[in-house]
Every structure is written in C-alpha cells, then in structure tokens.
Amino acid sequence: MAPTTNTRVLFASIPKDFPIPGETTVYDTSQQIDLEHVPLNGGFLIKTLVLSIDPYMRGRMRAPKTKSYSTPFTLGAPLAGYGVGVVLRSEASDVAPGKYVYGDSIPHQQYAVLANMDRFNFLERDPKLPWTVYVGAAGMPGKTAYMGWKEFSRAKKGETAFITTGAGPVGSMVIQLAKRDGLKVIASAGSEEKVKFMKSIGADVAFNYKTTDTREVLAREGPIDIYWDNVGGDIFDAALEHANIFGRFLMCGMISGYNTGHEPTKNMHLTFGKSLTINGILHSHLLHKHNAEFYSKIPALLANGEIKYTEEVHHGLESVGEAILRVVIVVAEE
C-alpha cells in the first residue's frame, strides 16, 4: 500500500494571550506514513478517532522553562491530549488490533505509533453512546467531576452546593451528582441558554453571573456547604464570604486565568474562622482509587439518560486550531 498523508496539528509558536489558529497552531499535511510498514518498535499503531479539546491544553502551550502541573508542548511537534484511537497493528503482546484505547497522550495526528499502554486504558463502548462521549462525560471531564466529588465533597443530604461553570462538561456532571446526593444546587454560567440547560439537569437555582450579582444569589440561597470552583477570582471570594462553617471547597481549575493570568484571592482569611477545607482536584491523582468504579457506573447512566450531557463536536483535524480557540474563548468568557 502506498504511503498516505498523516495529517497533524503542530504547536508552532507560544500564544501571547489567546491562541491564533494558523499561527500558534498549524494544520500540517506534509507527513506521509506507510501504515503497513511503519516500524512499531514493540509498540502499536493507532488511528485517531476522537480528540478532546480541554482548557488545560492552553497551559501546555507555553515556554518549557515556565513550570506548571502539565508538561509543555514541544514547539514544532504535534499537540497531544485526551483522545480515543483504534489499534491498527501491534507488536505489543497486551494490545490486539481492533482494540480501542483512551488516554491523555494521543498526538493530534491521524495516525500514531504508541510505545505502550502506560498512559492509556482500553475502552468498551456502550452501544448507545458515541465515542465522543468517552472523551467528555465518560472521559476526563466526567472523571474529574465524579472523582473530585466522590473524594472531597463529603456531601450530606440537605446541604447546599454552589457549582460554577455549571453548563460545562465538568460542572454539569457535578450538578447531577449533587442532586443525586440530595443537595440543593446553586449553579452559575455565562449565558441564558446555559442557565436554561442547568435548570433542565436539575439545578435548583441557576443564574447568569454576567447579569445577576453572585453575592446577592448566595446571600439569599446560601450559605453554601460545598463550592465547586472552575473560575477562581472574585466568584471564589464571594463563595468564601457565603460559605457555611465546615464548608468544603473543591478547586478544579481556574479557567478565567488560562489566557490572561489569574485573579488574586482576597478572602483566604475566612478559611480559619469557618474551618473550611479546600481541596485541589487533579483527576489523574484519583484514578487509582475511582477509575474502575467510574467506568462501571457512569457510562451506563449516560446511556440510559439518568445523567445528561451535552457536547460540541467539530469535525476534522483541520478544525483543532479553531476548536482550541473556541473552547478557550468560550470558557474564558463564560
């Protein structure tokens, strides 16, 4: 078989603030690959099916010397992220052709040779769910929500939770987990459409933080026992002000700062008077405890509609640049 084009999305330059498709990321068709003969070196060849565009990826588009919890992308090399691939050929004894693999190191290219399963797990698809769900509600964002909630919320029936970016893939899962645990849920997002969606999945109080004062809502509907933070800054401060004694704060990411720097927190002095607990969530630190349980429970609930999800799907590797920009901009403005 003749070599085929292995389309890729390359990290071309470090964004100053927002990524620029065609400049900070470049869609590239220059690489050829011979699918039958490309050396596997003991690994396996996949065809990439689905790639997830997640806010943390912006953090990887940085200079190598800047430290962060994620490793920086390499300039000139493809982006990489969560994705699903199907195995085409394999020299690894534990990896059979036809298997589906999921993990955070799928290169943004049509075909890729992976060395081993270290950063991947096999997936079996529920026939009612498309593969895209396995990078969303049944993937890293869903796991972040499920494992963070499970590990740190100490949720008790009748308590009140405040969940930010409640229409996003993480927040919407958290809303539904909180409702399943019998909590009153206050949820915020940045548009009327999102407010409607958050109500449709069970939020008792849903508001648009751009048009409604967060502190007024929390003063009326709080105090809050659990706060799920995706935003940081002033809303985090408002949550500290309206936290109940023994409140639990789950820090999942501060989306607002990925492009333009993080807003400072002014109210950390409220943590001791109220005996608050704040936990940073990184789902990869929780996988060993909750991954099996997650896959045994959540995809089935998604498939039968007990837990709802939305997804925004773009098609083609050539859309990655825009998708990153869109995700980043959508989220940053939310």
**Residue at 40: amino acid letter:** L
**Interface region with a second copy, contact rule CB under 8 A, candidates 79-87, 97-105, 106-114, 249-257:** 249-257
Beta bridge partners of 229: 251
For residue 9 the two structure tokens come to: 């999305």
Residue 248: C-alpha distances to residues 156, 173, 223, 254, 278 (Å): 11, 18, 12, 17, 6
Q: Identify the residue among 79, 224, 251, 327 touching a second copy (CB under 8 A).
A: 251
The reply on whether position 257 binds a second copy by CB under 8 A is yes
Nearer to a second copy, 78 or 139 (CB): 139
**Interface region with a second copy, contact rule CB under 8 A, candidates 73-81, 86-94, 269-277, 294-302:** 269-277
User: Could you tell me the smallest distance in angstroms from the CB atom of residue 236 to a second copy?
Assistant: 7
Q: Identify the residue among 223, 280, 295, 319 touching a second copy (CB under 8 A).
A: 280
The reply on whether position 291 binds a second copy by CB under 8 A is no
| Cα(77)–Cα(95) distance, integer angstroms | 26
| Cα(28)–Cα(25) distance, integer angstroms | 9
The reply on whether position 244 binds a second copy by CB under 8 A is no
**Interface region with a second copy, contact rule CB under 8 A, candidates 182-190, 198-206, 271-279, 298-306:** 271-279
Tell me if 167 sits within 8 A of 194, measured CB to CB: yes
Q: Identify the residue among 14, 92, 278, 301 touching a second copy (CB under 8 A).
A: 278
**Interface region with a second copy, contact rule CB under 8 A, candidates 19-27, 76-84, 108-116, 266-274:** 266-274
**Phi, psi for residue 174 in degrees, rounded to 5:** -65, -45
Burial class, 180, CB count within 10 angstroms (exposed 0-12 / middle 13-18 / buried 19+)? middle
Computed on alpha carbons and rounded to an integer, the radius of gyration of the chain in Å comes to 21
Q: Are strands 44-51 and 111-114 parallel, antiparallel or unpaired?
A: antiparallel
Site string for a second copy, 58-97 (x = CB under 8 A): ----------xxx---------------------------
Nearer to a second copy, 69 or 296 (CB): 69
The reply on whether position 287 binds a second copy by CB under 8 A is no
Beta bridge partners of 32: 5
The reply on whether position 202 binds a second copy by CB under 8 A is no
Residue with tokens 């929500």: 145
**Phi, psi for residue 83 in degrees, rounded to 5:** -170, 175
Binding site for a second copy (CB under 8 A): 68-70, 232, 236, 245-246, 249, 251-254, 257, 262, 264-282, 285
